[in-house]
Structure 1
Amino acid sequence: MKKIVFLVLLSSVLAFHAQAQKFGYVDMEYITSKMPEYQKAVREMDQFSERWAKEIQEKFVEIDRLQRTYMAEEVLLTDELKRKRQNEIKEKELEAREYNDRVFGMDGMMFEKKKELMKPVMERVQRSLEKVCDQRRLDFLFDKSSGIVLVYTNPKHDYTDYVMEDLGIETKPAAAASAVPSDPTSTNPINQNSITKKPK
């Protein structure tokens, strides 16, 4: 009986603390898609990736050429020349695999380049997230575009626009802006911020 009472009390305390905490979420994928510096970093990463992939492909094309040449000339070669050609091909294969691992492996050149290009952008986003959490008194802020499964999200807890505003990103959708009719006789123009900003 005492155990049941303890569990009920514990549940009540946890429920009370959960109610006292303020939660929110943002769509990081949407935010970064609107950041020119993020898109620039992605383009630069793609350029490095393509260049390195081309270099690796060229290495394997050369290996394939050496193998075909060896097979065509094998019957004319002495045992010593055969061994020499085979060793040359094996060395080239090992070199190509090692270079591939050095570029695209864990903690490889591509990983380091991504860190280098993305760090300033993500640090800026992080500062903005912390600022919004502080201003809105949030205890937890989730990223709805990450692997976290959110089966339901109330739009009033969406702080994406606040983060975008702090980053200086236009939050007004272009389609919505063009859909608003311009009435030159109107004396009370519509405040676009009131359309896109989610009430708190």
Structure 2
Amino acid sequence: MNAQRIAIIDVSSILEEMSDYKVAQQEVDKIASAWRQEIGVEYDKIKSLYNKYQAEQVLLSEDAKAEKENEIMEAEKTVREMQKQRFGPDGDLFKKRQELVQPIQEKVYSTIEEYATDRGYDIIFDKAGSAGILFTSDEYDKTGEVKRKLGLK
């Protein structure tokens, strides 16, 4: 068996020099900033509701107090939901980043795969560490053998 040919590539530095990647990142940042501002405005409204409630509380009946408290809690719940929808793990920002950035990343990864195949590399690692292994020749994937050893298909 021949020695494995291994290469290291810094994907971050490649992406940082790609103008379309920079533009996509700026767009994502701009959207995130606008959404943070939108959520900030909603929190300011809640603070205003709470301050008004604090000032009027002595004049309110128990029912009116409970109603105002519920109104504030509902507003907080609504803004937390908005925050989750915008910035949660599968939220709008995640989807927007995928839509704008993923095609550029895929272009880089397919170029790396093509480079590896053309130059005869067996394994390519990401120096930045975010992706780990970028390319590996199928002959080095021993997952099937381990599965068979465990009695799996």
Report the TM-score, using the length of structure 1 for normalisation: 0.63
Question: Residue in 2 aligned with 1:88?
Answer: 71
CA distance in 1, matches of 2:131, 2:109: 18
Could you list the runs of 5+ residues in structure 2 that have no partner in the other structure? 133-153
2:43 aligned with 1:60: yes
CA distance in 2, matches of 1:139, 1:118: 27
Question: Residue in 1 aligned with 2:84?
Answer: 101
What is the CA deviation profile of residues 114-147 of structure 1, one whole-angstrom value per residue up to 9, with x for unaligned ones? 1111121112111211111011100101110115
Aligned alpha-carbon RMSD (Å): 1.5
Structure 1 residues 28-47: aligned runs within 5 Å: 28-47=11-30
What is the CA deviation profile of residues 33-62 of structure 1, one whole-angstrom value per residue up to 9, with x for unaligned ones? 110000011000001100111111111111
Question: Residue in 2 aligned with 1:190?
Answer: none
How many residue pairs get aligned? The number is 132
SS of residue matched to 1:25 = strand
Quote the offset at 1:148 in angstroms. 8.1
SS of residue matched to 2:78 = helix
SS of residue matched to 1:20 = coil
Rg (Cα) greater in structure: 1
SS of residue matched to 1:101 = helix
Structure 1 residues 1-200: aligned runs within 5 Å: 17=1, 20-147=3-130
Could you list the runs of 5+ residues in structure 1 that have no partner in the other structure? 1-16, 150-200
Percent identity between matched residues is 34
CA distance in 2, matches of 1:46, 1:73: 40
Quote the offset at 1:83 in angstroms. 1.3
The structure 1 segments of at least 4 consecutive aligned residues displaced by more than 3 Å after TM superposition are none
Pair 92,111 (structure 1): closer, same or farther in 2 beyond 3 Å: same
